[in-house]
Amino acid sequence: MGALTLKNVTKAFGKTEVIKGVDLDVKDGEFCVFVGPSGCGKSTLLRMIAGLEDVTSGDVEIDGERINDLAPARREIAMVFQSYALYPHLTVRDNMGLALKQLGTPKAQIVEAADKAAAMLDLGPLMERRPSELSGGQRQRVAIGRAIVRTPKLFLFDEPLSNLDAALRVATRIEIARLHRDLGATMIYVTHDQVEAMTLADKIVVLRAGRVEQVGRPMDLYNDPDNTFVAGFIGSPQMNFLKAGLLGLSSDTVGIRPEHLAISATEGPIEGSVSHLEKLGGETLTYVRTPDHGLLTVRQFGEHDHPVDSTVRLTPDQSRAFHFDADGQRLR
């Protein structure tokens, strides 16, 4: 079991409150991702769950038990850091087994647990090496293996893929998703990468300046955002925000995703000029500068040519538009 509940949790550093009352329920076995811009409090919240930061007020509960005052080592939580945090003088095997050794677990049991985790992560051939003899991706797999060996109630990940190159990030992301399926464990994962959030999460928590903006399943946040912040944060490239009044609409702001903006040389209510074109192979992104709505992004499937500086016209798909009031709240 590993259900997590946060009840009106706050955190102040001196007089500065950086977590401003967070309520959250993470079910046993759920993969929950904290996303938000730099400085919104993702890591602080994770560190409070781990016990690495004190909670200023509110309750942190695991399986209904308040753990605010429980030492980190007694929380049955394993954390995987961006920086791996492996012991350089220990072999992979000893790094993975260390926590169990410190608990006085019999040696044969430690070997068995480490071998099992190594098999899950394809680390078998590397068990006798030291961290300096491993690539970054292999080191991160060892750090994940070390977490698995402890069979914790909660796995906490703090931007674990940030130090990896693009291809390895994708491979390790898929690995973590598979591990979650195989282990059925509760995982809390911090990232500022919304693609990681969309692909890994059962539940995404969007944070902004120490508050929760919205909690939901990835596609629910994508299809049904509560406000312009969530609408702009979830989805890449970002949603376009247009001035509703200039389109003859009564809301304040109209949100249109790049794939719901049609582009043509001659037809459409919005005029602009092509400022930049990105051909990504499978899709084309065209950035159009408009006098009324600023820079808008158009996404088209396949390869398209819109010469830079040429005049184009855009048509929003009204059936896919999101409407927001002057405070950025969604009008439904």
Ligand X SMILES: Nc1ncnc2c1ncn2[C@@H]1O[C@H](COP(=O)(O)OP(=O)(O)OP(=O)(O)O)[C@@H](O)[C@H]1O
How far apart (Å, rounded) are the C-alpha atoms in residues 49 and 6?
Answer: 9
Q: Name which of 13 and 87 has its Cβ closer to ligand X.
A: 13
DSSP 272-286: EEEEEEEE-SSEEEE
Q: Name which of 82 and 228 has its Cβ closer to ligand X.
A: 82
Q: Is residue 291 part of the contact set for ligand X (CB under 6 A)?
A: no
Out of 10, 25, 43, 304, the residue judged to bind ligand X by CB under 6 A? 43
Which 302-331 residues touch ligand X, going by CB under 6 A?
none
From the list 41-49, 69-77, 121-129, 265-273, the region that binds ligand X by CB under 6 A is 41-49
Out of 20, 129, 192, 289, the residue judged to bind ligand X by CB under 6 A? 192
| Closest CB 44 distance from ligand X, rounded Å | 3
How far apart (Å, rounded) are the C-alpha atoms in residues 201 and 169?
Answer: 16
Q: Is residue 209 part of the contact set for ligand X (CB under 6 A)?
A: no
How far apart (Å, rounded) are the C-alpha atoms in residues 67 and 70?
Answer: 5
Residues 6 or more apart whose Cβ sits within 8 Å of residue 43: 158, 159, 190
Token representation of residue 22: 């967070």
Q: Helix and strand tally (H, E) in the chain?
A: 8, 19
How far apart (Å, rounded) are the C-alpha atoms in residues 214 and 72?
Answer: 28
Q: Name which of 207 and 261 has its Cβ closer to ligand X.
A: 207
Q: Is residue 40 part of the contact set for ligand X (CB under 6 A)?
A: yes
How far apart (Å, rounded) are the C-alpha atoms in residues 231 and 9?
Answer: 25
x/- mask, ligand X, residues 13-32, rule CB under 6 A, reads: x----x--------------
Q: Is residue 41 part of the contact set for ligand X (CB under 6 A)?
A: yes
Q: Is residue 39 part of the contact set for ligand X (CB under 6 A)?
A: yes
Residues lying near ligand X in the complex (CB under 6 A): 13, 18, 36, 38-44, 192
